[in-house]
Amino acid sequence: MDDRTIERAVATRRRRRRALQKNDEPSSRNAAIVGILLVLAVLLLGLALLSYSPADEANTDISFRELLQLFRNNDDVRAKFETTQNWLGLLGALLADFLLHDGFGMASALLLLVLLLWARDLFRHGRIQDESWRQSTLIIACMVSGAYWFGALRLVWDQLPVELSGLVGEFLATVGAAITGTAGTILLATGALFFAVVFAMGVSIVGLVNRARSAFQTLIGSLRQRWHRRDRIKATIQQPSTPGTTASEDNPFSFLRRAAQQTAQVEEPRIIKPEEPNIPPSPPAKRDTPGSKTTASGARQTTDPIESATPPTPPRKLTLTVQQQQAHTTEDETPPTRQPHFDETILYTPPPLDLLVHGNQEHHINEEELKTNARLLQEKLETFKIKIENVTVIPGPVITQYEFVPAAGVKISQIEALADDIALALKARGIRIIAPIPGKGTVGVEIPNHKPSLVRFRSIVASRTFQEFRAALPVGIGKTITGDVYCTDLAELPHLLIAGATGSGKSVGINTIVMSLIWRLHPRELKFVIIDPKKVELTFYTRLKHHYLAASPDVDEPVITTPANAVIALKALVAEMEQRYDLLARVGQRKISDYNRKLADGALKASDAATPLAPLPYIVVVIDELADLMMTARNDVEDSIIRLAQLARAVGIHLVVATQRPSVDVITGLIKANFPARIAYQVASKVDSRTIIDSVGAEQLLGNGDMLFTPGGQRPIRLQNAFITTDEVEAITEFIGKQRGYSTPYMLPSVAQGNGRGGSADGDFDPLFVEAARIVVHAQQGSTSLLQRRLRIGYSRAARIIDQLESAGIVGPFDGSKARQVLIESDAELDMRLGQLGLT
């Protein structure tokens, strides 16, 4: 092709582009003109309605012909014009009279909102969008139902002005009264207005009912508490007047207390009840799709739909089979909303679905794109003399899996080596080859979709699969490549190790796990210990201090952010584990599920009457960044994590540990050996992928929640993590935090005594306290690292000694990255201070 031909082609393309632009200019100009006219109409109608006066009714009885007499100096018409009070004169009075008397009354003002919506679309898009038509329809429905409601009210209170309902409202109310009577008309009009406003504002009716019920029950509970407190005060300061008479009988609101007690006795438990931990998790209901089977973890895996016997075909002929997906469960198909569960100590209402964003749950299949990718895949493989004939396509929300049977004599290793070449041919961000697919005689190639769908957390918790998943600690992770909801039981894993690069979706995954557990379990059944060294990722869970958080008496922060407090909390968890084992050994039970079940059945009795038995909640320990803890207090952190991972499963303590650096110095061999279940998000290299899941593949993930989940000894399963925003998490924690919680949080054992932090004569100071004080005074530097080097102790013990030196007045308070100021300058002053403390 010569240069002259190229120039002609470029010139032709430019002429076509100019012609298209010229054709678009008139349409956009016309749309702008119509938009301006609509805005002017809104201003005129708004001013006419705003300045309406009933005194102008006498002047509006005029025809259009009489109105033209104004230009012929007609005295009668001019007198009407001069006496009109409307800001737009006689024309404004006519418009206002038409809308208020002959139209929809005061509800006619909603027409202005419709016109503004249309004008906005004309300015932005050049046409009125479908969404604006839908919104306009809802606004008009509100306008009609509003006029109907005011017309119904005027049937009872005829002194109400006719401007409220207009002629339309009067007509609807009159017709309704003739059919259903006055009371029925008012009831129907109120219902029509209510539903119109609810649908126009996008408010969930179920959510409104739940909030009203919650508010009523909260009111009843607060009244009961108030009158119980008043009765106790009366009992202490007064003597009963006659035997058998109680203070509650004189209480004018005693019927509220009796109603609340009856409600507590007859109220049905919420539908999603905490499952018996001893019952193994049952899979969700099987689908009727041929060739499918359900795994024990709740995920559906699809078997090979490829025909076994295929007649010989020409080399370039391709048979494409697109596996049809069944309609996935949406929130409209779920069981009824959970009922608030009445507890003897707190009245807890689970968070409603309204707090979650309702995203588009469906992913549309572009068959043309699937056929193109299948053809390119076949052509690229044939380039390397690898022939395939039949391709089965399994489309998913984010990736699509192409399954095929290679020809006889083709080695699997040949196909695996072509990953980069296939990605280049398909222009994909990254592909993953599964050769072979477990349980099938096929090879799978996972290719990202050009337009991936966002998997919302609401679509997970609102699904029937999650609602019916029976487990002690149910977790809705996300969706499989086929679009099915995937659930697992954290109690069966029993611990989870998470790794992924920055921005791969690791923090969102942690929030998904925590929120899944909160969604299904009552605060009395579940507690969290959250360790967040980053100090910004998980701090909003502080609001759950009196509901879901377990606390240590030696730590003063609900969500732990410092390495020193993290070491203390982990040691407190070890002590809690040992106490629980002692309890199980005393009552002769093997695990927490058996203990709680038999305790609820009344089959267990305490050997010591002074220490009655109580149910044990599950404790989930969440560590957001393990690498930071391993850098600052490696020995203490690793020892505690290993002990908990090895022993804590039977007593209901489970670990969820995350790190963005899956190197062998962070995920040591002992830690890795005790975490069989792992999640790998996108990582930087194959080495990191092998470190976390013992195989390659995580480096080819797409990020944004794309993961490989290994549920202990199985092949990795590719999932798309459910997405939950920070605003949704904050809304849920705020909703729970506003409810009355337990008076004191669940307390872990104190570890202040022992473990290298006590043992002196007074029991308050470390045995190395005096020596550390002299080192600090001589060096005039209050540094934790200084004590670590000089005394050869760990970080946690050195930090504890520094805190003791601060409380003793030897060093100053914490000052960021700087060393603490030493307040004592000489040995003489130090001896005097130690004498005051009784340490000389």
Q: What is the pLDDT of residues 690-719, one digit of tens each?
A: 888 888 888 888 888 999 999 877 888 999
Q: Supply the pLDDT for residue 651.
A: 94
Q: Supply the pLDDT for residue 43.
A: 92
Write the CA distances from 48 to 45, 83, 98, 146, 147, integer angstroms: 5, 16, 11, 20, 19
Q: What is the pLDDT of residues 189-205, one digit of tens each?
A: 898 888 888 877 766 66
Give the contacts of 364 (CB within 8 A, at least 6 positions apart): none
User: Is the C-alpha dihedral spanning 757, 763, 767, 768 positive or negative?
Assistant: positive
State pTM to two decimals. Answer: 0.54
Sorting pLDDT into bands at 50, 70 and 90, what band is 794?
confident
Sorting pLDDT into bands at 50, 70 and 90, what band is 71?
low
Assess contact for 701 and 721: CB atoms under 8 A: no
Q: What is the pLDDT of residues 456-479, one digit of tens each?
A: 999 999 999 999 999 999 999 999
Assess contact for 351 and 732: CB atoms under 8 A: yes
Q: What is the pLDDT of residues 333-362, one digit of tens each?
A: 444 344 343 344 678 889 999 899 876 555
Question: Token pair 């697109």 is at which residue?
Answer: 322
Number of Cβ within 10 Å of residue 372's Cβ equals 12
C-alpha–C-alpha distance, residues 180 and 173, integer Å: 10
Question: Token pair 């707090």 is at which residue?
Answer: 355
Higher-pLDDT residue of 593 and 762 is 593
As a 3-state breakdown, the chain gives helix, strand, coil percent values, each rounded to 5, of 50, 10, 40
**In terms of DSSP bridges, do strands 300-302 and 292-294 run parallel, antiparallel, or are they unpaired?**
antiparallel
Sorting pLDDT into bands at 50, 70 and 90, what band is 377?
confident
How far is CA 329 from its chain centroid?
18
Torsion of CA 3, 6, 7, 8, to 10 degrees: 130
Q: Which range is least confidently modeled, 111-115, 126-130, 304-308, 665-669?
A: 304-308
Sorting pLDDT into bands at 50, 70 and 90, what band is 752?
low
Residue 236 in 3-state DSSP? helix
Q: Supply the pLDDT for residue 536.
A: 86
Write the CA distances from 673 to 651, 693, 694, 713, integer angstroms: 20, 11, 11, 11
C-alpha–C-alpha distance, residues 433 and 700, integer Å: 10
Q: Which range is least confidently modeled, 300-309, 340-349, 440-449, 470-479?
A: 300-309
Task: Give yes or no for residue 74 having a pLDDT over 90.
Answer: no
Higher-pLDDT residue of 278 and 486 is 486
Higher-pLDDT residue of 72 and 522 is 522
Across-strand partners of 293? Answer: 301
Sorting pLDDT into bands at 50, 70 and 90, what band is 760?
very low
C-alpha–C-alpha distance, residues 357 and 373, integer Å: 33
Beta strands in 66-125 (DSSP E): none
Higher-pLDDT residue of 25 and 274 is 25
Q: Supply the pLDDT for residue 391.
A: 82
Phi, psi dihedrals of residue 401, rounded to the nearest 5°: -100, 130
Number of Cβ within 10 Å of residue 33's Cβ equals 11
Across-strand partners of 300? Answer: 294
C-alpha–C-alpha distance, residues 483 and 370, integer Å: 16
Assess contact for 821 and 782: CB atoms under 8 A: yes
Q: Supply the pLDDT for residue 237.
A: 47
Judging by beta carbons within 10 Å of its beta carbon (0-12, 13-18, 19+), is residue 244 exposed, middle or buried?
A: exposed
How far is CA 703 from its chain centroid?
19
Q: What is the pLDDT of residues 217-247, one digit of tens each?
A: 777 866 776 676 666 555 544 444 444 444 3
Sorting pLDDT into bands at 50, 70 and 90, what band is 390?
confident
Note the residue count of the chain: 840
Task: Give yes or no for residue 783 having a pLDDT over 50.
Answer: yes
Mean pLDDT of 78-85: 75
Looking at this protein, which amino acid is placed at residue 124? R
C-alpha–C-alpha distance, residues 284 and 300, integer Å: 9
Task: Give yes or no for residue 589 having a pLDDT over 50.
Answer: yes
Mean pLDDT across the chain: 78
Q: Supply the pLDDT for residue 641.
A: 93
Sorting pLDDT into bands at 50, 70 and 90, what band is 26?
low
Take residue 353 and report the two structure tokens written for it.
Answer: 């679905």
